[in-house]
């Protein structure tokens, strides 16, 4: 599933490509919005909230006037922007939303969530989220308070809970646990310096909003970008011990956890 920085970059792309322009065509390829037509409305902006995208669209000539297109990439989704007439970068049958202006065609492919909300109902979609690591609402103290609500909860599970803090996915969870020297199953209450871990999370995501490819090591070469994520059986970059991987979480919500048995001993 895309991480918070990926969604942030998608929001930035949509904001730069569509904001201030009239829609000349909209095409919603989901049953609940199949007859919706927003042609003539103005896109006023797109923001990210954790892993959610909010595209705001206004048309004072219509009843209601202000809407928010709420989308979520889930596992396979992406937003791509093309020039009018340009061939799409993914197959047309994967398109779920098309927003076209005079200068750009934004296509949301394989989106996990597509819903059009009255603007005053945005909170129904994202109000449950914790402080956003990349958002204007970031509050380290509040994030720490939420993380420590249950000190017995495994740190890896807590970091993935978007109601604690928003933006961390499986990759950042694995990398943060490694650079902090804690096993993903370590109880939150036993993490020596949780505030430093959270600050590292913010730093990692912020740095990767400016890069074409994600990296937590600072090395942008293909096989050198990560410390442990998806490096099972490869030698640990610090000590040479083979990296381990294990499925964790409840049935239907399993995630792969990666760690070095030497640098991150089992609690």
User: Which tokens is 51 given?
Assistant: 């892993």
Among residues 9, 51, 164, 202, the one annotated as catalytic is 51
Distance CA 69, CA 30 (A): 13
Q: Report which secondary-structure segment, H or E, holds 108.
A: strand 105-109
Q: What angle do CA 128, 7, 48 make, to 5 degrees?
A: 50
51 is catalytic: yes
In 3-state terms the chain splits into helix, strand, coil percentages (rounded to 5) of 25, 25, 50
Query: Which ranges of the chain would DSSP assign to H, the alpha helix?
Result: 4-18, 122-126, 140-147, 155-160, 170-180, 194-208
DSSP letter (8 states) at residue 38 = -
Cα 256 from Cα 33, distance rounded (Å):
35
Q: Is 3 a catalytic residue?
A: yes
Distances in Å between the Cα of 153 and the Cα atoms of 79, 132, 148, 149, 199 are: 34, 21, 9, 9, 20
Quick check: is 190 catalytic? no
In this structure, what token pair is assigned to residue 213?
A: 């490819």
Neighbours of 218 (CB within 10 A): 9
Contact 226, 215 (CB under 8 A): yes
Question: Which residue among 12, 119, 238, 255 is the active-site one?
Answer: 255
Please pick, among 2, 131, 154, 184, the residue that the annotation labels catalytic.
Answer: 2
Is 151 part of the annotated catalytic residue set?
A: no
Count Cβ neighbours within 10 Å for each residue of 18-33 and write b for 16 or more, e otherwise: beebebeebbbbeeeb
Out of 3, 100, 122, 157, pick the active-site residue.
3
Catalytic residues: 2-3, 51, 255
């Amino acid at each position: 599933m895309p991480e918070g920085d990926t969604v942030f970059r998608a929001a930035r792309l949509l904001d730069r490509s569509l904001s201030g322009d009239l829609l000349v065509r909209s095409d919603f390829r989901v049953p609940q919005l199949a007859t919706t037509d927003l042609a003539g409305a103005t896109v006023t902006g797109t923001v990210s909230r954790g892993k959610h995208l909010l595209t705001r669209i206004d048309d004072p000539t219509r009843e209601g006037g202000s809407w928010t297109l709420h989308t979520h990439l889930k596992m396979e989704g992406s937003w791509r922007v093309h020039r009018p007439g340009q061939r799409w970068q993914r197959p047309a049958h994967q398109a779920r939303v098309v927003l076209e202006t005079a200068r750009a065609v934004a296509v949301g492919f394989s989106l996990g969530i597509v819903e059009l909300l009255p603007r005053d109902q945005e909170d129904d979609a994202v109000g449950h989220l914790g402080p956003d690591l990349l958002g204007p609402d970031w509050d380290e103290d509040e994030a720490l308070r939420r993380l420590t609500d249950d000190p017995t909860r495994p740190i890896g599970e807590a970091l993935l809970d978007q109601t604690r803090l928003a933006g961390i996915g499986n990759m950042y969870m694995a990398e943060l646990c490694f650079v902090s020297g804690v096993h993903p199953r370590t109880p939150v209450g036993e993490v020596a310096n949780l505030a430093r871990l959270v600050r590292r999370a913010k730093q990692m995501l912020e740095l990767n909003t400016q890069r074409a490819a994600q990296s937590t090591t600072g090395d942008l070469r293909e096989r050198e970008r990560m410390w442990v994520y998806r490096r099972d059986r490869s030698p640990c970059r610090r000590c040479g011990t083979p990296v381990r991987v294990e499925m964790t979480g409840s049935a239907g919500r399993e995630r792969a956890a990666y760690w070095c048995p030497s640098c991150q001993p089992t609690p």
